[in-house]
Amino acid sequence: MDYTQLFQFSGDRVLVIGAGSGIGREAALALGAHGATVVCADRDSTTAAETAAMIGGSAIATQLDVLDLDAVRAAADEFSDISALVFTAAMNVRKRIADYTMEEFDRVVNLNLRSSFSLIQAFAPKMAANGGGSIIGFASIRAYVVEPGQGVYAATKAALVQLARTAAAEFGPDGVRVNVIAPGVVETPLTAQIKNNPEWYNAYAQKGALGRWSKPEELAGAVVYLASNASNYVTGSVLMVDGGWTAVDGRFDPPNS
């Protein structure tokens, strides 16, 4: 076993959906730095092209709206040779259950869950036909722990965990691995509402063991790991990258005595 090759992607093409910004962009940059040929996909073709330019080399950009089922299926045909698929697109409407509209419910469920299902449904069989591959989705700590106003978002992320586990069971015999990463609080456009509220921001920062928020680039290593040969026997798993949020359950730090 040549362990120096565990994190090398030379000759492998990977598709990152949501590559135009945030975690998706950092994941694309990290995969490119390890030798992968990266296809940067995003609903915003301009930001996708910016990411591809940052990677350089053979990286390309493509426009993809994951809510468009025909476009997702066409992408699966066009990029049927990929060794890894990473998808990060998500949204959240922070409202208590009694205040939610069904239109808001549908928007969150369609982007967070329905699109995840359609991506797995479209790409997993292609990977299986090629002898295997890695699919990586993004759940959240909200799949496990919640707070008021997180109901629909949390439900979609919990559902994604079970969807990934089921896909791992169904496509595992053909060599397709399916895993999810569960971040804690990350400084992205999705969390701008919280970040701009000092009281909210500081409360979240103190919840985890590390006492701070994470940055998008701190999720990139988890993506590289799950896409690489280093995780060949890892499937149906949730990789928590939450700074200890779900490990620390107390809200009070008792005195030493």
Which residues belong to the active site? 153
Instruction: List b or e across 38-72, with b for residues whose CB sees 16 or more CB atoms inside 10 angstroms.
Output: bbbbbbeeebbbbbbeebeeebbbbebebeeeebb
How far are the Cα atoms of 81, 169, 176, 216, 257 from residue 138, in angstroms, in the given order? 22, 18, 17, 12, 41
Taking the C-alpha atoms of residue 59 and residue 103, their distance in angstroms, rounded to an integer, is 37
Instruction: List b or e across 86-110, with b for residues whose CB sees 16 or more CB atoms inside 10 angstroms.
Output: bbbbbebbebeeeeeeeeebeebbe
Contact 124, 178 (CB under 8 A): yes
If we measure between CA atoms, which residue out of 219, 198, 194 comes closest to residue 88? 219
- DSSP notation for 23-85: HHHHHHHHHHHTT-EEEEEESSHHHHHHHHHHH-TT-EEEE--TT-HHHHHHHHHHTTT-SEE
Give the CA angle between residues 206, 210, 214 to the nearest 5°. 90
- 57 φ/ψ angles, rounded to the nearest 5 degrees: 60, -130
